[in-house]
Amino acid sequence: MTRPPLNRLDESLLTPLPPFSRLERSEIRAILDQAVSRRVEEGATVFHEGAPADRFFLLLDGTIRVIRVTATGEHVTALHIPAGQLFGIAPALGKDHYPATAQAASEALMLSWPARLWPRFAALDGFTTETYATVGKRLGEINDRIVEMATLAVEQRVANALARLVNQTGRKVEGGIEIGFPLTRQDLSEMTGTTLHTVSRLLSAWEKDGIVSSRRKHVTVTDPHRLVVLGQRRG
């Protein structure tokens, strides 16, 4: 695929996004001029956990899956990052290595900058405030996941995981709301700390009940209300 030169990207690409919304057009032009564009295929790794954090990224299109690897080598999906957000922002956490692996959950288009430029970005009007708001939101989501793992049954965890993805990336289709990127049963098991067998059993039962529909890595929630009820704490 032929990629357009970076200077063809218009400043309006960044102006709606919170980290850049307070900036002058000339400031955004300077930011774009220092960026590198990259398109990656579904499943490609953008960076690995523990690698030197030499760049930070802005996701323009697609979804990024954030993965942690346990001491026993198991993959745990910590969260998903939608288009329009920064990621790989280790400097904001005071780290010089990436704390997790970033993988493209779908085909993705992104911009990136050298980590040495982070102090310049942090000095821009509104950039730091919005960045730390994003970090706080992600930490809150991870904390909610930890509480779920400790207090909820597997059925509730899987239902809540699907509901979150619908809220973050869902798009209306005939028959329901489709999660906006390819999602396998293995992906769901890594999100919810359970086995592939258990996820397959639950989804098969929910398909029979008319709550979800899945085919070729595309999951559609056909009855969102019943899915939310399944995710509620009981007892």
CATH entry, 153-230, from 1.10.287.130, 2.60.40.10, 1.10.10.10, 3.40.50.300: 1.10.10.10
Mean pLDDT of 199-222: 93
pTM: 0.85
Domain 6-149, what fold?
Jelly Rolls (2.60.120)
- Residue 8 is predicted with a pLDDT of 64
Show Cβ contacts of residue 145 under 8 Å, excluding neighbours closer than 6 positions. Answer: 78, 79
Question: Is 101 within 8 Å of 88 (Cβ atoms)?
Answer: no
**Distance in angstroms (rounded) separating the CA atoms of residues 100 and 48:** 7
Q: Is the pLDDT of residue 6 over 50?
A: no
Q: Is the pLDDT of residue 3 over 60?
A: no
The percent of residues in the chain predicted with pLDDT above 70, rounded, is: 95
Of the candidates 161, 164, 166, 187, which has an alpha carbon nearest to the alpha carbon of residue 176?
166
Q: What is the pLDDT of residues 155-181, one digit of tens each?
A: 999 999 999 999 989 999 998 999 999
Hunting for tokens 């996701």 — which residue is that?
A: 59
Amino acid identity of residue 75, one-letter, is H
- E strand intervals along the chain: 36-40, 45-47, 55-61, 63-69, 75-82, 86-87, 101-104, 108-114, 171-173, 176-178, 212-215, 218-221
Residues forming CATH 1.10.10.10 domain(s) in the chain: 153-230
- E strand intervals along 63-200: 63-69, 75-82, 86-87, 101-104, 108-114, 171-173, 176-178
- Residue 125 is predicted with a pLDDT of 83
Q: What is the pLDDT of residues 115-151, one digit of tens each?
A: 999 999 999 888 888 888 888 988 888 888 888 888 8
Residues forming CATH 2.60.120.10 domain(s) in the chain: 6-149
Hey, what are 182's tokens? 């390819």
| Range among 60-64, 66-70, 122-126, 212-216 with highest mean pLDDT value | 60-64
**Distance in angstroms (rounded) separating the CA atoms of residues 134 and 232:** 26
Question: Is 55 within 8 Å of 114 (Cβ atoms)?
Answer: yes
Q: What is the pLDDT of residues 70-127, one digit of tens each?
A: 888 888 898 999 999 999 999 988 899 999 999 999 999 999 999 999 999 999 888 8
Q: What is the pLDDT of residues 7-18, one digit of tens each?
A: 467 888 899 998
